Structure 1
Amino acid sequence: MISQRKDDHVRLAVEHQRQHSGHNQFDEVSFVHHALAGIDRPDVSLATTFAGISWPVPLYINAMTGGSVSTGIINRDLAIAARETGVAVASGSMSAYFKDPSCADTFSVLRKENPDGFVLANVNATASVDKVQRAIDLVQANALQIHINTAQETPMPEGDRSFSSWVPQIEKIAAAVEVPVIVKEVGNGLSRETVLLIESLGVQIADLGGRGGTDFARIENGRRELGEYAFMHGWGQSTAACLLDTQDVGIPVLASGGVRNALDVARALALGASGVGASGGFLRTLKDEGVSALIAQISTWLDQLAALQTMLGARTPADLTRCDLLIRGELRDFCADRGIDTGQFAQRSRSVEAAHQLTGSTR
């Protein structure tokens, strides 16, 4: 039953990507164009560092799948793409492995095909410390993702209905493991209050996992005979909204959910993300065109991101947080309701320029 569910998830996720890859709230974020801000391409670096982790590029392949023969093939190809492009890669939920160890190779292939890369293990918030360590060991993980997904479990026919144990268990896991711990949403977003709670539990990183990409409430409702949870389609906050909501929290944040192109990557970095993950769009490319096309897509995104940084005058991904941004539409309404001053983002370069004048430094 688990392997069938994993295959269903892939099929429905790809269908969702083909049908719903248009507008999302990243489109309500735009850069103010400063015509003489550009720098030289050789001076641009894509490297990012956060919570003691160093990546050569700020893009990663986020959690997708594993647990069946066909999803093992997907993980093999994702690992090859990660190896060839230098991006980090996360496994899908490893709950299937805990229930059926015979599917271990559908996850361990991530390390087999990518021996020197950055690999993240993925578990749910109910996993015991022993199971978590088994997951880490299986893929020789450099970091651990704990996914939280109440809005997926609720319409899931066989989903969990008890969530009160998640907070103490996350704290227990974070205290027990030796690799960095990331708590990630699966597509409904992390609010500021949730990220602050996550930080208090000893977790080092939050993956905001916002609305805008794969909609797991929709996917799980699609697995129901009557589809009676359609009212949950689109639940939660967008990734852009989450980034605005979590400005200056104490831990680094990663952005995933609805990332469609290199411009969305740049927008997310400019809004404060230390790294940016994509999954659904990459899965669609892999299923429709194959691993070579996915490698080409990731390589193109990275080249385009470097080009955008060059034009915007951002030597590093972190420097994008100095660029001026305009926030419009429903995203601006969200900020108004949450007490977030969007005007500050439109004038960030002025404060940078003032600091340069004060210190006598140059851009």
Structure 2
Amino acid sequence: MNNQRSQRKLEHIQLFKEEYNPHYTGFEDVHLIHQALPVNDWDEIDTTWCFLDKICKAPLFITAITGGHPASEKINRDLALVAAETGIGLAVGSQHAALYNEELVKTYQVIRTENPEGLVFANVGAGVSWDLALKAIEMIGAQGVQVHLNAAQELMMPEGDRKFTQWLNNIEQLVKKSWVPVIVKETGCGLSRETVLRLKEVGVEYFDVGGSGGTDFLAIEARRAQLPVRLQLSWGLPTAWALLECLAVCGNQGHLWASGGILTPLDWAKALALGAEAVGVAGHFLKTYLDNGLEGLANEIKEWQRQLKIICLLTGVSSPAHLKAAAKVITGKTAEWQKLRAGDVYGCKAISSFHA
């Protein structure tokens, strides 16, 4: 089983290169309004993000995708170097393999070797017991732990899990035992308001919506299972829709993060404008790294940071945290989804056009 899990991690990276095909996230329907008369000078725009006592240069992190196979050690090493250089966070991929095979621990610990002072998130599945989850945190000295919900992916895998009823209890126990925040995330199918309500009842305060539109693990697993294209399952909530769902439940009482199909600095800004505190990017950054190397990825992230600052200035806000108050218009399918599922989440009656 351990060898099978490790081999699967390698296949995920290999198939990612073939299956990465970003699609609709809902951010296409979100429009930030240009303010031609700036109210801030350039030097007054502050893009820093504070997670507990750790200050990052921007509310951005490279989110989970790699780990668990010897071949991923170099990728994790380089991503850690990029995170350190650009001053953003980094989440490792699922640590299951290393929890059962000590030889793979170094494929994760390399990120601490290369980025000893950086913001790092551990990663386990909801099927992992709280005691093993704590070992995952200790393994990399993480400041937070992501618990991923990937039922759809598991069901597409012939060897995947089929028992899920213990998941919520595992999360509840981890929230009680963990000395770092527990961030519950989806892996590409989005968090619904019903799911968030259940998680809030057991004490979860941090949510990463992990919507559809980016890396499609269902397509990757379908390829692994050699299913024909006509039988591949298209499923999940686009990221913007999932954000609206979570915002409708949490309001200002939770910490919402966004990941899933974030491809540009403008997507990043739109996610923040819809209520996200921070944004995670996996597929696009991994592809940039594979195509252009460590330096290419570092340069792209620096440009993202510069353009986020531009967007803040041109929308009349002084920081990314204030983008949620920027004037915006929501149109199309996302406006309809907001009307039917999310309600009046911005405190105003208009659905397709409003000032927050």
Write the distance in 1 (CA, Å) between the matches of 2:134 and 2:194: 28
2:9–2:66 CA contact under 8 A, matched in 1: yes
Write the distance in 1 (CA, Å) between the matches of 2:16 and 2:174: 29
Name whichever of 251-260 and 330-339 sits farther off: 330-339
Letter in 2 for 1:87: I
Do structure 1's residue 283 and structure 2's residue 283 form an aligned pair? no
Q: Is the alpha carbon distance of 1:142 and 1:153 closer, same or farther for their aligned partners in structure 2, counting shifts above 3 Å?
A: same
Q: 1:337: which partner in 2? A: 340
2:244–2:342 CA contact under 8 A, matched in 1: no
Write the distance in 2 (CA, Å) between the matches of 1:55 and 1:264: 19
1:99 deviates by 2.0
Match of 1:268 among 268, 271, 291: 271
1:49–1:274 CA contact under 8 A, matched in 2: no
Q: 1:358: which partner in 2? A: none
Deviation per CA, 1:215-248: give whole Å up to 9, x if none: 1111111111334883422x11011001112225
Write the distance in 1 (CA, Å) between the matches of 2:39 and 2:14: 43
Structure 1 residues without counterparts, runs of 5 or longer = 350-363
Deviation per CA, 1:134-163: give whole Å up to 9, x if none: 111110001111001111111012110111
2:22–2:215 CA contact under 8 A, matched in 1: no
Q: 1:352: which partner in 2? A: none
1:337 deviates by 2.3
SS at match of 2:318: coil
Write the distance in 2 (CA, Å) between the matches of 1:217 and 1:125: 18
1:294 deviates by 0.6
1:121–1:139 CA contact under 8 A, matched in 2: yes
Deviation per CA, 1:92-132: give whole Å up to 9, x if none: 00000112111000000111110000000001112122211
Write the distance in 2 (CA, Å) between the matches of 1:306 and 1:333: 30
Name whichever of 157-166 and 243-252 sits farther off: 243-252
Following superposition of structure 1 onto structure 2, how do residues 2-41 of structure 1 map, counting pairs within 5 Å?
Answer: 2-17=5-20, 20-21=21-22, 23-41=24-42
SS at match of 2:152: helix
Write the distance in 2 (CA, Å) between the matches of 1:2 and 1:161: 16
Deviation per CA, 1:19-71: give whole Å up to 9, x if none: x2355421111112232245211000112346776533101100111111211
Name whichever of 250-259 and 23-32 sits farther off: 23-32
Q: Is the alpha carbon distance of 1:324 and 1:39 closer, same or farther for their aligned partners in structure 2, counting shifts above 3 Å?
A: same
Name whichever of 297-306 and 220-229 sits farther off: 220-229
2:33–2:315 CA contact under 8 A, matched in 1: no
Name whichever of 240-249 and 68-77 sits farther off: 240-249
1:72–1:106 CA contact under 8 A, matched in 2: yes
Write the distance in 1 (CA, Å) between the matches of 2:39 and 2:352: 19
Following superposition of structure 1 onto structure 2, how do residues 113-262 of structure 1 map, counting pairs within 5 Å?
Answer: 113-227=114-228, 230-233=231-234, 235-247=235-247, 249=250, 250-262=253-265
1:32–1:346 CA contact under 8 A, matched in 2: no
SS at match of 1:164: coil
Q: Is the alpha carbon distance of 1:310 and 1:220 closer, same or farther for their aligned partners in structure 2, counting shifts above 3 Å?
A: same
Do structure 1's residue 312 and structure 2's residue 319 form an aligned pair? no
Write the distance in 2 (CA, Å) between the matches of 1:272 and 1:100: 39
SS at match of 1:306: helix
Letter in 2 for 1:160: D
SS at match of 1:30: strand
Q: How high is the TM-score relative to the length of structure 2?
A: 0.92
Q: 1:47: which partner in 2? A: 48
Do structure 1's residue 347 and structure 2's residue 319 form an aligned pair? no
Letter in 1 for 2:136: A
Q: How high is the TM-score relative to the length of structure 1?
A: 0.91
2:83–2:118 CA contact under 8 A, matched in 1: yes
SS at match of 1:187: coil
Q: Is the alpha carbon distance of 1:230 and 1:333 closer, same or farther for their aligned partners in structure 2, counting shifts above 3 Å?
A: farther
Q: 1:360: which partner in 2? A: none
Q: 2:297: which partner in 1? A: 294
Q: Is the alpha carbon distance of 1:110 and 1:171 closer, same or farther for their aligned partners in structure 2, counting shifts above 3 Å?
A: same
Structure 2 residues without counterparts, runs of 5 or longer = none
1:289 deviates by 1.3
Q: 2:104: which partner in 1? A: 103
Q: Is the alpha carbon distance of 1:22 and 1:227 closer, same or farther for their aligned partners in structure 2, counting shifts above 3 Å?
A: closer
Write the distance in 2 (CA, Å) between the matches of 1:200 and 1:50: 23
2:245–2:342 CA contact under 8 A, matched in 1: no
Q: 2:86: which partner in 1? A: 85
SS at match of 1:96: helix
Name whichever of 223-232 and 27-36 sits farther off: 223-232
Name whichever of 239-248 and 115-124 sits farther off: 239-248
Letter in 2 for 1:71: S
